[in-house]
């Protein structure tokens, strides 16, 4: 498993793309966490696969945030209604 908080050096050598992955060390400095080696024939599939997966996650997060916002607004309306009912009694 590789923690990827950033991208370092990217090179193309011997029909492979090498992507240095970076992360923040315990002392606050940026350190290399690993290296992705992607064969030339797989570059498009890997990049498109990552982009598609991230887009799907962003869509789901956006939908969840909207549902949470609606539920919060609905809860506020219900609370106002309950407070009005208490005031009548």
In which residue are the tokens 């970076």 written?
22
Nearest-angstrom CA–CA distance, 58 and 9: 27
pLDDT digits (tens, 9 = 90+) for 43-79: 999 999 999 999 999 999 999 999 888 888 777 766 6
All structural domains of the chain: 6-88 (3.10.450)
Mean pLDDT on 25-54: 96
The Cα 38–Cα 47 span in angstroms is 10
Question: Rounded to an integer, what distance in angstroms lies between the CA atom of residue 11 and that of residue 25?
Answer: 23
Percent of the chain, pLDDT > 90? 72
Rounded to a whole number of angstroms, the CA Rg of the chain reads: 24
Residue 55 has a pLDDT of 97
């Amino acid at each position: 498993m590789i923690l990827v908080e950033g991208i370092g050096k990217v090179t193309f050598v011997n029909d492979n793309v090498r992507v240095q992955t970076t992360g923040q060390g315990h002392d606050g400095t940026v350190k290399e966490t690993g290296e992705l080696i992607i064969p030339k024939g797989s570059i498009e599939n890997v990049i498109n696969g990552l982009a598609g997966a991230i887009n799907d996650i962003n869509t789901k997060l956006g939908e969840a945030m909207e549902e949470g916002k609606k539920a919060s607004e609905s809860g506020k309306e219900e609370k106002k209604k309950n407070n009005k009912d208490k005031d009548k009694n």
